[in-house]
Structure 1
Amino acid sequence: MHRRITTAAQNLYSQGHFRRNSASERIIVGATKWCVFQPVEPTRAVVEAAIQDRIERMQSDHVDLLQFHWQDYSNKGYMNALEILHDLQTEGLITAIGLCNFDAIRTDEICTQLGPGVIVSNQVQFSLIDTRPLHGMSDVCERHDLKLLTYGTLCGGFLTDRWLGRSVPDLYSGKLTPSQRKYLDMILKAWGTWELFQSLLGVLRVIGDRHGGLSIANISTRWVLDHPFVGAVIVGTRLGISEHLDENYKVYGFNLTEEDNAEIEAVLIRSNGRRIITTIGDCGAEYR
């Protein structure tokens, strides 16, 4: 899996519609999720019904990448569900199986039990603010040849030029999206202060200028993509509304230098970023 930027479509129907009506000659890979939040007995019938539903809504005869989330770790049914998903993969209903918001311990357990190559990815949060994948998850990825599909890389848009030099927004003003409220809360309560965050944006702006006027978003994305265990960065855009395609493509045209990374690290080391894993928990813990 080559490291790249991928766009998150709003739902399965829009993915199916986009694939059916796309005139592009590029290969379109449709990734979707099966998230189990409530207790369920993962029988063959239950698992197959979930996959068939996604196949129908994506207007395909298979799922390219099925990303599996299981809410309750104390219920080991997730192993049964994954074994059935593997059976469906061998039958051609699924091309590849990934995880979604699994922590390092369970990811290692799953990959060990299912064997090499069965699980190809884990979708987790990773950014300059949230660096939890560096603590444990990166080792699991190397051990099992796993790639992370990362979201939250721009922290709901806070890691962009738009917020450079601006005062801290009111969390409860009603002007922020749910995503922005989530990431602002993490910046202020788990990572550091707004003043330190402004210092980070300032450093990213200097680095962007050094590389010919690239955006803060470009630098933030490149930093994530430069980690070898990252397979792709998921950019939360809205098709036909706010895609930023030309802007996002610029991330492929440069590399961060040792000087760039040293300047970024000089800010990160002043934050609580390395301790977020102890305050929030490992990858995906915020959803459990």
Structure 2
Amino acid sequence: MANVLIAGCGDLGSGVGLALADAGHQVWGMRRRPEQIPAPIRPLGGDFSRPDGLPELPDALDVVYFIATPGRFEDEAYRLAYVEGMRHLLAALDRQEQSPGRIILVSSSSVYGVTDGGWVDEDTPAEPGGFSGKRLLEAEQLLAESPHTGVIIRFGGIYGPGRERMLRKVRNGEPVVTDPPQYTNRIHRDDCVGALVHLFGLEHPAPLYLGVDNHPCTQEELTDWLADRIGLPRPPKETGSAGGVRGSNKRCRNDRLVASGYRLRYPDYRAGYEAMLADV
């Protein structure tokens, strides 16, 4: 039985915590509003963005997850959540002389600055163009420079129940840039949880993984398929500059994650969105 702390126990963290608690591990979840943490995860109130915001951590932690959620898409919010959050968590572990077996950090594929639709993997240099990717990379570097064993997973665009941005775009008839093609990399929320639980159990994990499904596609392909599936007109097409959503336009490979033994529940967007539409 392992002692597990989930720093940032929101949707993904709660999913991970429930799975690990069900497997017999002791799990603590930390967030600003601990009353929202589901049992049997043990709630801790805390705000890791503040130097005085962390409670006394549970003793003898074996695994720590760091799953930050900035409140706004702004540089300062990302700096506080990711950079200061990681800094304060590492300092708290050091104060309590704790050496967990691994710290698992949820990052993002936005750390890659590729904007021409090219392929990227874990060996592609991380050269982010936007502030979000830069702050995430700072947090990754803090973990890498610490004495702790870090495992980083960079997720693509997360979708699933409650994460329906692309569906809203189609329903609202918002235009899609098709020239040049704009690639998107996606992963279902349940596969994010599954991959994070998988990394917990790996005996010798790599320090870095890309968390995406098997099928990067263009936004045009995705939105046309969604429109056809729900019986709406395909979104209008327009010409735009390269760069995609928030400066991103790339195709991510998940070979390392798959080779480690993880099997996606939803291997492409069709499978994932079919499940979402069936629930609706």
What TM-score do the two structures reach when normalised by structure 1?
Answer: 0.35
Question: Which has the larger helix fraction?
Answer: 1
Asked which structure has the greater RCO (Cα within 8 Å, sep 6+), the reply is 1
Question: Which has the larger strand fraction?
Answer: 2
